[in-house]
Amino acid sequence: MNTALKKLLDEKAAFYNRPDFITKDPVSVPHRFQKPQDIEIAGFFAAILAWGNRTAIINNTNRLMAWMDEAPHQFVLQHEESDLQKMLSFAHRTFNATDLLYFMAFLKQHYSNYNSLEDAFVPGKTYKAPDTEQALIHFHNYFFSLEDYPERTRKHIATPARQSACKRLSMYLRWMVRRDTKGVDFGLWQKIRPAQLVCPLDVHVANVAQRLGLLPDTKSNWQNALHLTEQLRQYNPQDPALYDYALFGLGAEERFKSI
């Protein structure tokens, strides 16, 4: 084990894993809610829209929450077609109203049958796989199990089956699964354990990880996401995704170049 690297990762994780950084991060949106299902839905949209400018991500997700009367779970279950008219103008980068309406249809169908969105990732009582690959594949297949889903919407729900790094969904799982007392991640879900989480991998994380010797290259794909997570398990076997804070912070906030 590289003790100097562990010291750096632990220090940076502790620095960024605190509420001071919530206000400019998409996770600020679900933090406005108390009801578990509201947190799940707000977090899901915040994660799915999380590419591009962070201010735009937060503003657009908050706009969705306002359209849902600041009660997303109730809105998902009880909305009628006329309630969706206000959403027809929505667009965030390549995510548009067609995608949004299908998301609403899926969420209504799911919450009409289940109490938590966790069941969309893990249909059984426990999840025994070493990482979240099978949960993400199941979620993708289940998400597109409704009739007449728009083919264009498939690009917004990543899957390891297509070698995607699944950064946004892995980040969402981190929010829902990780449990600590720092006030950022929620730890709502129990079927998936923090030890099974895969570190979210995007361009910032990949660049920093490669410079630190944790990745052979800067490709953002599922293979590298798993490889990075295996490396991080050496430093924290029970909570490897903790270091997402360190790697993202070093890249996005500090423009880290070398150690």
> Domain of 203?
3-253
Confidence band for 163, pLDDT divided at 50, 70 and 90: very high
Q: Is residue 60 part of a domain?
A: yes
Task: Let me know if residue 258 belongs to a domain.
Answer: no
Q: How many domains would you assign to the chain? A: 1
| 35 contacts 73 by C-beta, under 8 angstroms | yes
Q: Is 9 helix (H, G, I), strand (E, B) or coil?
A: helix
Q: For the residues 251-256, what does the mean pLDDT come to?
A: 70
Supply angle C-alpha 224, 228, 232, rounded to 5.
Answer: 170
Indicate the pTM of the whole model.
0.96
What kind and span of H or E run contains 44? helix 36-48
In-domain check, residue 211: yes
pLDDT at 253 over 90: no
Determine, yes or no, domain membership for 73: yes
Q: Is the dihedral of CA 1, 257, 8, 234 positive or negative?
A: negative
Query: Is it the case that residue 175 has pLDDT exceeding 60?
Result: yes
Residue 133 lies in a domain: yes
For the chain, count helices (H), then strands (E): 11, 2
pLDDT > 90: percent of the chain: 93
Q: What is the pLDDT of residues 209-224, one digit of tens each?
A: 999 999 999 999 999 9
As a whole number of angstroms, the distance between CA 176 and CA 166 comes to 15
Within-domain flag for 109: yes
Q: How confident is the model at residue 234 (pLDDT cuts 50, 70, 90)?
A: very high
On the question of pLDDT at 204 being above 90, the answer is no
Report whether 199 contacts 229 (CB < 8 A).
yes
Q: Which residues is 164 bridged to in the sheet?
A: 221
Question: Looking at the predicted structure, is the pLDDT value of residue 207 above 70?
Answer: yes
Residue 259: inside a domain: no
Here the contacts of 144-149 (C-beta below 8 Å, separation 24 or greater) are 146/102, 146/105, 146/106, 146/109, 149/102
Residue 155 phi, psi (nearest 5): -70, -10
- In the predicted model, what is the mean pLDDT of residues 166-179? 98
The DSSP secondary structure of 197-223, one letter per residue, reads: PPPP--HHHHHHHHHTTS-SS---BHH
Does residue 103 surpass a pLDDT of 90? yes
Long-range contacts of 212-221 (CB under 8 A, 24+ apart): 212/5, 212/259, 213/2, 213/5, 220/165, 220/167, 221/163, 221/164, 221/165
Q: List the beta bridge partners of residue 96.
A: 91
pLDDT band at 259 (very low <50, low <70, confident <90, very high): very low
Q: Tell me, what's the pLDDT at 173?
A: 98
Q: What is the pLDDT of residues 8-30, one digit of tens each?
A: 999 999 999 999 988 999 999 99
pLDDT at 252: 74
Tens digits of per-residue pLDDT, 107-145? 999 999 999 999 999 999 999 999 999 999 999 999 999
CA dist 86 and 77 (Å) reads: 17
3-state secondary structure of 96: strand
204 vs 156, which has greater pLDDT?
Answer: 156
Mean pLDDT rounded to a whole number for the chain = 95
What mean pLDDT do residues 195-213 have? Answer: 95
**Any domain includes 118:** yes
- The token pair at 243 is 């270091």
Does residue 1 surpass a pLDDT of 80? no
Q: pLDDT per residue over 29-64, tens digit each?
A: 999 999 999 999 999 999 999 998 999 999 999 999
pLDDT score of 91 more than 90? yes
